[in-house]
């Protein structure tokens, strides 16, 4: 039995672990992949106060080491169910079940409080054959897979900061980068757009949406359509990097706390939920700004709320 079980070891979950452990509580972090969440693939984090020019991996590793050195324990597995129950003395607690990884047995954990810091996952393109072509030219992470396409032509899809950064990263490796966006204006920062516009091997393909993934068994191109002229064109590329933003995957926890229309945890800045003893933190929570610093802020708020709740149970 732990005092606090934290689902998700991204920046929000790791911060909650640091605050929980420093608050004298026993903390268990449960993670389905590896610690660090989305920042693990960010080559350079330069907007986190006090951590100038660090990589996402370094920053996440520092957070992880800080949490575990303070006593937080780590378990791996995908949480499939959390059930509210009671301990032998009749105190309310939670039974947390994981699916297990790579065919291994699932496990059951118990805790007096739960912090859901489940993050978000990549929004898919939504085209036929997309799932089958992951690893065969479709990727959601340019920094993870970009090196496989050194010297090739590639497409980056999306207009946010991730797409812009992916295009910039790939421009260093690839022969040519098509940056395909559905509008004629980018959502991401103007400063990066300007840098990209000056690169000879980057072509902006604006007002354009993808309509078909070409190639079998590996990607050989993408058919795109201009939404204003309806003109279609095939971009001959070996890789398609999708940067359409992130979506939550909170369905397993809808018995514990309300989700909003888009599937995010419907909770305010206090990180409380409609189930006593359950708190939420980070990008999986309904919020205006999803940034590293807002995720870690949530982690602290949720852990302090959990500590207060635990004191009330004593």
Q: Which residues are catalytic?
A: 141, 144-145
Retrieve residue 119's tokens. Answer: 């993050």
Beta carbons within 8 Å of 234's beta carbon, 6+ residues apart: 214, 221, 222, 223, 224
CB of 11 to ligand NAP, least distance (A): 12
Which residues does residue 47 pair with via DSSP β-bridges, in sequence order? none
CB of 165 to ligand NAP, least distance (A): 5
CB of 160 to ligand NAP, least distance (A): 2
CA distances from 172 to 18, 199, 200 (A): 37, 10, 11
- 74 vs 209 by CB, closer to ligand NAP: 209
What torsion do the CA atoms of 100, 103, 104, 106 make, to the nearest 10 degrees? 30
Beta carbons within 8 Å of 14's beta carbon, 6+ residues apart: 29, 35, 36, 60, 63, 64, 66, 67, 299
CB of 147 to ligand NAP, least distance (A): 19
Beta strand 120-122 with 221-226: parallel, antiparallel or unpaired? unpaired
- 72 vs 295 by CB, closer to ligand NAP: 295
In the bound state, the residue with its beta carbon closest to ligand NAP is: 160
Residues 242 and 252: their CA atoms lie apart, in Å, by 26
- 172 vs 255 by CB, closer to ligand NAP: 172
- Please tell me whether residue 212 adopts helix, strand or coil conformation: strand
| Helix boundaries (H) for 32-160 | 56-69, 142-145
CA distances from 293 to 64, 97, 257, 283, 288 (A): 16, 30, 24, 11, 13
- 246 vs 285 by CB, closer to ligand NAP: 246
Q: Could you list the residues that contact ligand NAP (CB under 6 A)?
A: 47, 123, 158-163, 165, 182-183, 187, 209, 243-246, 290
CB of 202 to ligand NAP, least distance (A): 16
- 76 vs 241 by CB, closer to ligand NAP: 241
């Amino acid at each position: 039995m732990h005092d606090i079980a934290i689902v998700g070891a991204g920046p929000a979950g790791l911060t909650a672990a640091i605050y929980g452990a420093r608050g004298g509580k026993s903390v268990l972090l449960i993670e389905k992949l590896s610690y660090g969440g989305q920042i693990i693939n960010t080559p350079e984090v330069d907007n986190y106060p006090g951590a100038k020019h660090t990589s996402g991996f370094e920053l996440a590793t520092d957070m992880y080491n800080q949490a575990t050195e303070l006593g937080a324990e780590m378990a791996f597995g995908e949480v499939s169910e959390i059930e509210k129950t009671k301990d032998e003395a009749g105190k309310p607690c939670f039974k947390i079940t994981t699916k297990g990884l790579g065919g291994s047995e699932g496990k059951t954990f118990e805790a007096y409080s739960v912090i859901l810091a489940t993050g978000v996952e990549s929004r898919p393109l939504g085209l036929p054959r997309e799932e089958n072509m992951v690893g065969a030219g479709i990727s959601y992470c340019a920094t993870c897979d970009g090196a496989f396409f050194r010297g090739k032509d590639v497409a980056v899809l999306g207009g946010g900061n991730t797409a812009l950064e992916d295009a910039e990263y790939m421009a260093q490796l690839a022969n040519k980068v098509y940056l395909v966006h559905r509008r004629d204006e980018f959502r991401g920062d103007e400063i990066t757009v300007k840098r990209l516009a000056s690169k000879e091997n980057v072509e902006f393909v604006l007002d354009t949406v993808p309509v078909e993934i070409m190639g079998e068994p590996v990607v050989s191109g993408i058919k795109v359509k201009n939404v204003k002229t309806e003109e279609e064109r095939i971009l001959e590329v070996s890789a398609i990097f999708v940067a359409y933003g992130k979506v939550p995957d909170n369905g397993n926890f809808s018995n514990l706390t309300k989700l909003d229309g888009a599937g995010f945890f419907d909770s305010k800045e206090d990180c409380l939920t409609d189930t006593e003893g359950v708190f939420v933190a980070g990008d999986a929570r309904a919020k205006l700004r999803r940034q590293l610093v807002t995720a870690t802020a949530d982690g602290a708020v949720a852990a302090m709320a959990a500590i207060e709740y635990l004191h009330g149970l004593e």
